Structure 1
Amino acid sequence: MKRLRPVDLGREHGLSAQAVRNYEQDGFLPVAERTPTGYRIYTESHAAALRTFLALVRAHGHATAGAVMNAVHSGRTDDALTALDHGHAQLLRDRETLASVRGAVEHLAETDGPGSGRDPGTGNDVGPFPLSIGELAHRLRLTPATLRTWEAAGVLLPARDRATGHRAFHPADVRDAELAHLLRRGGYRLPHIAAVVGQIRTAGGTGALAAALADWQRRLTARGLAMLSAAAHLDAYLTAARA
């Protein structure tokens, strides 16, 4: 079996030898044997593990990639697969949100009035309007604190109930929140999101929005392809480990 040094593994990916040693220490690579003088002995199995980990990072992020490799190396294959399932589920939710926002833009002029119970993007029944901040947060799988931050940044402009002073989110506000959620997940900062949402709110030009949605579509496609590549690496690594 060919012996490899940390620098040999790192060279393929532009990593330092110390980074490779750190990855082993963190459980992303199998534990290496040592020479009598204490030097690590890496093999092609370690090189395959490093390729798999880095492919997972590109597809799912560092935290999930680390969790998957730790689970694999401790014999918890189902836990590793569950972590990957969460990533695929999030990608599907992002695709559905993108479709919802596109529908909202296409039907901007058809936004329902208060009490209609229809989502402006999908037309689905979501309950009577207006929604409270808690109800909207639950719908978007966010926290009320996040929505308050968006409001402070000018992304959301909910009305206030005259009697209670509580925020009241109408269909157009839900549309704005859906759009903000998508763009936030796409890595856009709140000032940019506020500008894009403002364009839709005032029924102005949608050039910036179209560009943002097209960019996020490209990101979703790239992430989906990265997940396929990572799955192939992981499958090959697991197959070799069982041989």
Structure 2
Amino acid sequence: MRPTDLARRHGISTQAVRNYEADGCLPPAARTPSGYRIYTEAHAAALDAYLALVRAYGHAIGGRIMNALHAGALDAALTAVDRGHAQSLRDRETLDAVRGAVEHLLEHPPEHPGAATGARTVGELAHRLQVTRATLRNWEAAGILAPARDPATGHRAYGPEDVRDAELAHLLRRGGYPLDRIAEVVRQIRTAGGTRALAATLEGWEARLTARRLAMLDAAARLGRYLERLPLQP
């Protein structure tokens, strides 16, 4: 096949085909006596696998996997695939934890509704929630709270959003949630703009995760077909 044939077959430009070869995502092409590239069905399978890997893992990881294969490093390539699946599982577990926490928050809103005004000291916030100062510092170390510091004294100053996050953390801790999951929930709530806004985004989040997992299955199948053409040993 000519570069144009391979490009047309995969719906990309001929320059993209050349770039992928130069980047090691395709095996080197043979050349005619006049210097023109000659691609084979093996190159088509490689390109098919690479484009599927990009859809599943992104350009960087997809390129890393293909380069490892072409360097004869099968174990490194498969390890990259394994890490992608492991990250997908962690993402799924995080989504489930966030969904459960959001449902808990919607059913049991914080005891102090509404935004607090002004900044609070660590002692004032601890008294408000009936927790120790050490508890608030632990939440800060876990990434749940991020209070500003008073420029004059250097003491922590908890603003309205910090108070809200502390109340959410307090509620979820009583619900049995570990600190790392609470930190993720708080981060998602900050990004979404509130608990109800986050609840509305969960369906889209799940759809994206499902699409990625299906893309990984497709990439694995195409990568397997390409591996059948390579003389690699595990």
Fold-level match, TM-score > 0.5? yes
After superposition, the Cα gap between the structure-2 partners of 1:234 and 1:16, relative to the gap in structure 1 and judged at 3 Å, is same
Q: Distance in 2 between matches of 1:167 and 1:30?
A: 58
Structure 1 residue aligned with 2:34: 37
Q: Distance in 2 between matches of 1:172 and 1:15?
A: 49
Deviation at 1:83, TM superposition (A): 1.0
**Equivalent pair of 1:32/1:40 in contact (CA under 8 Å):** yes
**Equivalent pair of 1:29/1:46 in contact (CA under 8 Å):** yes
After superposition, the Cα gap between the structure-2 partners of 1:114 and 1:160, relative to the gap in structure 1 and judged at 3 Å, is farther
- Secondary structure of the 1:88 match is helix
1:236 alignment partner, one of 199, 203, 225 = 225
Moved more, 84-93 or 40-49: 84-93
Deviation at 1:88, TM superposition (A): 1.1
After superposition, the Cα gap between the structure-2 partners of 1:111 and 1:72, relative to the gap in structure 1 and judged at 3 Å, is farther
Deviation at 1:223, TM superposition (A): 0.5
Which segments of 5 or more consecutive residues in structure 1 lack a partner in the other structure? 117-126, 140-155, 184-189, 201-205
Q: Does 1:56 align with 2:45?
A: no
Describe the superposition over 1:142-199 as per-residue Cα deviations: whole angstroms up to 9, x where unpaired. Answer: xxxxxxxxxxxxxx774769x852477746257774136558xxxxxx8xx252x2xx
Which of these two proteins has the greater Rg computed from alpha carbons?
A: 2
**Equivalent pair of 2:102/2:199 in contact (CA under 8 Å):** no
Structure 1 residue aligned with 2:78: 81
1:131 alignment partner, one of 129, 138, 141 = 138
Q: Which amino acid aligns with 2:9?
A: E
Describe the superposition over 1:200-241 as per-residue Cα deviations: whole angstroms up to 9, x where unpaired. Answer: 2xxxxx2x3333100010111110000000001111111122
Q: Which amino acid aligns with 2:45?
A: A
Q: Distance in 1 between matches of 2:92 and 2:188?
A: 9
- For the aligned residue pairs, the C-alpha RMSD in angstroms reads 3.2
**Equivalent pair of 1:28/1:50 in contact (CA under 8 Å):** yes
Describe the superposition over 1:108-166 as per-residue Cα deviations: whole angstroms up to 9, x where unpaired. Answer: 227795659xxxxxxxxxx9444364x324x9xxxxxxxxxxxxxxxx774769x8524
Alignment of 1:23-34 (within 5 A): 23-34=20-31
Q: Distance in 1 between matches of 2:215 and 2:187?
A: 23
- Secondary structure of the 1:107 match is helix
Structure 1 residue aligned with 2:184: 178
Ranked by relative contact order (alpha carbons within 8 Å, sequence separation 6 or more), the top structure is 2
How many residues are treated as equivalent by the alignment?
195
Structure 1 residue aligned with 2:116: none
